[in-house]
Structure 1
Amino acid sequence: MREIDPSANSSDTSPEPLSEQIFGRMLDAIYQGRLSPGSVINEVALAQEFGVSRGPVREAVRRLQGIQLVTREPYVKARVISLSAKSALELFQMRMALEGVACNLATRRMSDEEIGMLSAELEQDRQNYLSAAGGKAALGRVFDFHERIVRASGNQRIVNALCGDLYHLLRIYRRHSGTVLERKHDAYAEHWQILRAIKARDAELAESLMRSHIERAAQHLSDHLIEPRVAVNRSA
């Protein structure tokens, strides 16, 4: 994590407040595992690393607590959430239902141009990943296939449920479900299958493929968490 200039919260140099910068850096650290699940949040050390006072770090920790990425009990230091099989199962079951419907709606509502753009971005994301894995280039901006589908559904309640504060928690579990290389490759193939169904305007097939894709990710994640395996409800 690079040091942040405390003067960056000035409206003359950056529209983003310092506290927002710290929050973003800590989110990034949690996403990438530099602040690993269950690890203690050392506010003093983080303040020194960022080159700021402890106040913005403390505010960022409070915000992370509010979106369930950090836990804090009375008289106990704050910690990054520990991933649990039970929590993963509940979240992924919710995703199966909501993202399945979102995929159905997106298939009916997206224009041919929007589908073409999604296809191009998915291919670019694959190329970025292959280049980064081969040490040829750094990954570009984050592309989230699932977020794009949810937003394309046009259903604001589904968007709010999956792309609001809960999105950060979902993203951490999704990241861990794709850490094994074989699952990463499988996920890309499954994304393309979903996209082909969308291109064919087969809303029911697209929904079924999305649900199956999330179900496999949930099973994979529960198999790799420390807790005893929790079986995925196949009828969900």
Structure 2
Amino acid sequence: MTQSQTTLVRSGDSQEPLSERVFGQMLDAIYQGRLPPGSIINEVTLAQEFGVSRGPVREAVRRLQGIQLVTREPYVKARVVSLSGQSALELFQMRMALEGVACNLATRRMSDAEIAALSSELERDRQLQLDGNRTDMPRVFDFHERIVHASGNQRIINALCGDLYHLLRIYRRHSGTVLERKHDAYAEHWQILRAIKARDADLAESLMRSHIGRAAQHLSEHLVESDFSSGRRA
């Protein structure tokens, strides 16, 4: 990861604490794959690239450990969490159940204005993808997060949008790394949204479950291919 990719945390007039800004920069780097799964976190190098001392970087690493994005064993350098097929399966099974219910509830609860806003944001997100500007906007619209929050079920929100959200997001990113899957996922989002607009809660739930199931299958195949490639190189 180069300095041009990270954007120095000292830039701008934000009053946000330095440690918080460094944490956000590292989180974005993990989300976008600039700090890829399994990679070693070199605190000295990152501190130099961010233009800060090691203290804020060390604190960010501790926080990333707390939300399961970084692992560290005694006497071993910290690493970005590695992706495993079993972990992915368990997480996506949970998503299928909880997000399916969330989508059902959201269909019943959302106002017409909220649905219209969601439609506009989904279209804007598509344009950003077509323009190739997503890397310039690390915290972009998240269709799934919006649906979960719209459900109004606080337990589902806490389960999917709390600390576990960050790990889920990494797996979701890797399930959509192939361009064809990105296009399919976008089309599936629109199918779900059309069911929500029609106030067909059962159909919206079914479509969400199917959407996540396809993403899980794609990710599983991707992880198997990655493991095979790594084995071939060894």
- TM-score (norm. length: structure 1): 0.89
Amino acid at match of 1:132: G
**What amino acid is aligned across from residue 56 of structure 2 in structure 1?**
P
Match of 1:88 in 2: 88
Which residue matches 1:231?
none
What does 1:1-40 correspond to in 2, within 5 Å? Answer: 1-5=6-10, 13-40=13-40
- Are the equivalent residues in 1 in contact too, given 2:67–2:166 (CA < 8 A)? yes
The C-alpha deviation readout for 1:115-167, integer Å capped at 9, x for no partner, is 1111111111111111227x9x9558501000000000000111111111111
Q: Secondary structure of 1:82's partner? A: coil
- CA–CA separation in structure 2 for the residues paired with 1:121 and 1:93: 27
In structure 1, what is the equivalent of residue 51 of structure 2? 51
Of 139-148 and 118-127, the range deviating more from structure 2: 139-148
Matched residue count:
221
1:161-180 matches, cutoff 5 A: 161-180=159-178
Instruction: Quote how far apart the aligned CAs of 1:3 are.
Output: 2.1
SS of corresponding position for 1:179: coil
Match of 2:27, SS state, is helix
Query: Percent of counterpart pairs with the same letter?
Result: 81
CA deviation after TM superposition for structure 1 residue 59, in Å: 0.3
Aligned pairs for 1:1-236 (under 5 A) are 1-5=6-10, 13-132=13-132, 142-225=140-223, 226-227=226-227
Q: Residue 232 of structure 2 corresponds to which residue in structure 1?
A: none
Please report how far the alpha carbon of residue 54 of structure 1 lies from its aligned counterpart in structure 2 after TM superposition.
0.5
Amino acid at match of 2:177: T
Q: Which runs of 5+ in 2 are unaligned?
A: 1-5, 229-234
Amino acid at match of 1:207: E
RMSD (Å) for aligned C-alpha atoms:
1.9
CA distance in 2, matches of 1:55, 1:26: 14
Would you say the 8 A contact 1:131–1:138 is kept in 2? no
Determine if contact 1:128/1:140 at 8 Å carries over to the other structure: no
- C-alpha separation in 2, matches of 1:169 and 1:182: 23
Cα distance in structure 2, aligned partners of 1:15 and 1:160: 28
Contact 1:128/1:139 (8 A) holds in 2: no
In the other structure, the counterpart of 1:233 is none
Q: For 1:224 and 1:140, locate their aligned partners in 2 and report how far apart those are by CA, in whole Å.
A: 23
1:224 maps to a residue whose letter is H
Point out the structure with the larger helix share: 2
Post-superposition CA distance 1:195-223 (Å, at most 9, x none):
01001101000000000000000000000
CA distance in 2, matches of 1:212, 1:165: 25
C-alpha change, 1:5 and 1:94, in structure 2 (3 Å) is same
Is 1:85–1:222's contact at 8 Å kept on the other side of the alignment? yes
Q: 2:43 is matched by which residue type in structure 1?
A: E
Letter in 2 for 1:119: S
**Distance across 2 between alignment mates of 1:141 and 1:27:** 10
Stretches of structure 1 lacking an aligned partner (at least 5 in a row): 229-236
**Using the alignment, how far apart are the partners of 1:102 and 1:185 within structure 2?**
23
